[in-house]
Chain A
Amino acid sequence: MESKIATKIQELIKRFRYNKSAKERKRETKTQEMIRRFRYNKSAVFGLILILILVFCAIFADVIAPNDPTPSPPELEKSLKPGFWSEDGIEGMPLGTDMLGRCILSRMLHGARISLSVGFVAVGIAVLIGIAFGITAGYYGGWIDNILMRIVDIMFSFPGLLLAIVIVAVIGQGLDKAMIAIGIVYSPQMARVMRSSVLYVKETEYIEAQRAIGSSNLRIVFRHVIPNSMAPIIVYGTLMMATAILDAAALGFLGLGAQPPAPEWGAMLSDSRLYIVSGAWWAATFPGLAIVFAVLGLNLLGDGLRDILDPRLKT
């Protein structure tokens, strides 16, 4: 008796509040609302700026890079020269050169292209596989769900990077293959996220209504379930892109990712770590910083997106 009254009161309050806030924001479209909430989140804006810089570098690398990232023939005489901070620095190579005399700044700018494409493609693969698995498992449930989720469990039981190395060992080295490997490794996480959000969406009233008017499963899934389950996927995908870049760098570091002379950040780091002891700290430090900023930017951006897309965090 008592609890019934309490819930009713709460409901009333809720309705009242909702109406009020809706009134206030009447002229605001959904997108405008999102942007407003995003701008309020300073770290997310910072993340977005970092990523925009990165995207800019990637797109215009050819224009803004001061030098050829892989000059041919090589200019070995410029090997391991410091940058602008030193009197011995060579002109036109502000961040110094690596062992083979190549401009580190130019290589980093071109490396942005590689890292971003790794992020997009790998996560894209993971999202495609993950959605297929997640939808099927979540929407149909029962034994299908059971089988698919056990497969996902098996994949989860391998450490991610190790599984990627195994896949690369089977399908061969190279950047394209590293992307596929990372995509496969990340797909079970995507499948889990998708499934959980499908489980929620399929119980909602509008889906029930669709069923009631006799829509086919295919129509329900593609027109209603998928669009309405995408929010967590976008958030998770952004965060995952950061780890994908990190894993691609790790594979590059191990010599399994991008193949020479591609200016991949992880490979640059691994190539130059030997020379830190002998004083050439710049050759390894700058690519390392590039990885740090890219990952930081994507993580902040991902957090920000979660804040605006997750209805439970709405105030």
Chain B
Amino acid sequence: MNNKKVGILTIGLCLVLIVASFSGCVTEEEEPEPGEMVLIFGSSGDAKRLDPGDVTDGESIQRMDNIFESLVEYKPSSTEIQPCLATSWDMSEDGLNITFNLRHDVKFHDGTDFNADSVVFSFARQYNSSHPYHDYGEWAYWGYMFSDIDRVEKIDNYTIKIFLERTNAAIMTSLAMFTVCMVSPANAEQWGEDAFKHPSGTGPFKFVEWIKDDHITLEANDDYWRESPKLDKLIFRVIEDPSARLMALQTNEIQGMEYPDPTSFDAIEADSDLQLLTAPGMNVGYLAINCGYGYNDSNENGVRDPDEPWVKTLAYSEPLANKKVRQAINYAIDKNSIVDNLYKGTAVVAKNGMPPFMLGYNDDVEDYSYDPDMARTLLTEAGYPNGFTSTLWVMPVSRPYMFDPPKIGEAIQSYLAAVNITVDIYQIDWATYLEKTEAGEHPMCLLGWTGDNGDPDNFMNVLYAENACSIGTAGNVAFYNNSRVQEVLSAALQTYDTTERANYYEEAQMLLHENASHVYLAHSNQNVVFRSNVKGYVLHPTSRKFFYPVTIE
């Protein structure tokens, strides 16, 4: 009897202790110290790496935008550049080298001085394959955007010079990108190949901790060369489900979030505690139709050399290689209805492969209308009066340029069924999806692009050039090879004359339109939601997220 009572008491006591310890945990982690200004931002996924030179995904980038800085930076709401870690610069007359004067008295978070050596380090580790730190990263963006840089040299302690292999009209805007942010050489030496887990830059926030798939904590850098940021702490918390994210925001568990579900906009606007910030996005979401031919870039220079022949992609299919069939697909899909009803009006219909506000956008292109009869006629002309079957690859995750790809895929499936094209929908995890579409294993796929630097080259050359048809690393996942397109895109990059550049890009867009390698769907707005008392956040066209000016009232 007595024993039993003691047993019950013990169990009860244990329960109380367990509960108490749990609540202890929560208060310890969640509750800010009084007077501390903390902003928790709900992200849709975790960062992959925290090394600015070695990332390509938006989640990693938005964390690093607040830790690192580059030589130049974008103005708060445009892609024009202004001085940052470089105070001034000079371009030589032939346009082949640029001299930068660096800012004095800037320190990295680990206490190292910022100077010419750290700049050279940050660049050289990416392009110099014999650099001791070269093997610690894949440096994908260097290949995409910076391969025209031949080398970077130190002139004196606070002057450096960048040498270009050929003229590049986009180079100055590109230099404001995350890829070429300055990293501390001492920090790289201390952590070696794990440096991506211990970032150290010159930016307004310092890295504190990273709990994988849960949160990343940053704190204000009191030694920042500008005024210290107003927030004391900035936490990026991962909440994958958009409705769970919104609920956390409504309960003030987090103070801001990205990618709200368009169907919830009415509810957000009705809630006086929340504010929805919207701006046109610099992106494009499209359906890429595999035209069938790629090349193996054996020397990995990102250019198709004469000894690299065109080969059929794995998913080559007779009907899709036919221009008329691709045009028919364009006619069969009602983009307006998709944008109105599935994007819920948070996007504009796309007719070209880059957003309308960019240099060289060709407004003369007349978009394919929604005309199923025309589509059937074209299919008959192409020799497929009874249609054909194919497979549509649909990404499993929401992207800035496409909020709900599975629904859009299903709508497209249904539109195509109306003109006798039977497509199966194929889904696979995101990492594999990217890998396999870059290798050309898809007959048709949904994909898109968010611009990095506001230069048309960053859309046209990356997504539609012949050189981007390299099997395995293709940016042109329609595998559309047209030598004239390549010619004008290369010419456009090498001239500094804006009108001439615009003309080249317009020609490229017209050619792409005629050959119907893609069905351009939409340019999505970028949306973030904050609590109403969060002030000072400015949406940047590149979708990068700078929290430096943000404050909570």
Contact = CB atoms under 8 A, between A and B. Distances in A.
Name, among B332, B406, B407, B427, the residue most crowded by chain A CB atoms within 10 Å (CB to CB): B407
B342 A271 contact: no
Contacts of A171: none
A274 B414 contact: no
Contacts of A101: 341
B261 A274 contact: yes
B406 A277 contact: no
A74 B411 contact: yes
B264 interface: yes
A71 B414 contact: yes
A76 B427 CA distance: 22
Interface in A35-84: 70-74, 76-77, 79-80
Interface string A95-134: 0000111000000000000000000000000000000000
A79 B334 CA distance: 15
A277 B246 contact: yes
A76 B344 CA distance: 11
Interface in B331-360: 332, 334, 337-338, 340-342
Contact of B410 (A173, A261, A275): A261
A259 interface: yes
A261 B341 contact: no
Given A76-B341, A260-B409, A279 B267 contact: yes
- Contact-size category for B: 20 to 34
A276 interface: yes
Interface string A262-303: 000000000100111111100000000000000000000000
Contacts of A255: 396, 406, 427
A74 B333 CA distance: 10
A74 B372 CA distance: 12
Contacts of A71: 414
B413 A261 contact: yes
A148 B409 CA distance: 46
B424 interface: yes
Contact of B407 (A100, A173, A259, A277): A100
Nearest to A98: B407
Contacts of A275: 261, 263
A79 B264 contact: no
Given A72-B415, A73-B415, A260-B406, A274 B242 contact: yes
B422 to A, nearest CB: 10
Contact of B263 (A70, A80, A100): A80
Contacts of B337: 74, 76-77
Nearest to A280: B263
Nearest to A256: B427
Contacts of B534: none
B418 interface: yes
Nearest to B266: A278
A194 B410 CA distance: 44
- Contact-size category for A: 20 to 34
B263 A72 contact: no
B389 to A, nearest CB: 14
Contact of A260 (B340, B415, B425): B425
Contact of B418 (A72, A260, A279): A72
A260 B427 CA distance: 11
Contacts of A260: 406, 409-410, 413, 425
A73 B372 contact: yes
A76 B340 contact: yes
Contacts of B242: 274
Interface in B20-69: none
Nearest to B242: A274
A70 B414 contact: yes
Contact of A73 (B334, B340, B396): B334
Contact of A277 (B247, B340, B396): B247
Given A101-B341, A260-B410, A276 B243 contact: yes
Given A76-B411, A77-B340, A278 B267 contact: yes
A106 B417 CA distance: 19
Contacts of B396: 255
Interface string A196-235: 0000000000000000000000000000000000000000
A277 B342 contact: no
A80 B264 CA distance: 12
A49 B247 CA distance: 41
Interface of A: 70-74, 76-77, 79-80, 99-101, 173, 255, 259-261, 271, 274-280
Given A274-B243, A278-B243, 11 more contacts: A72-B414, A72-B418, A73-B418, A74-B414, A260-B406, A274-B242, A274-B261, A274-B263, A274-B404, A277-B264, A278-B261
20 contacts: A70-B414, A70-B417, A71-B414, A72-B415, A73-B417, A74-B410, A76-B337, A76-B338, A76-B341, A77-B340, A173-B427, A259-B424, A260-B409, A261-B413, A271-B406, A271-B407, A277-B246, A277-B267, A278-B264, A278-B267
5 nearest CB pairs, A to B: A76-B341, A277-B243, A278-B263, A72-B417, A73-B418
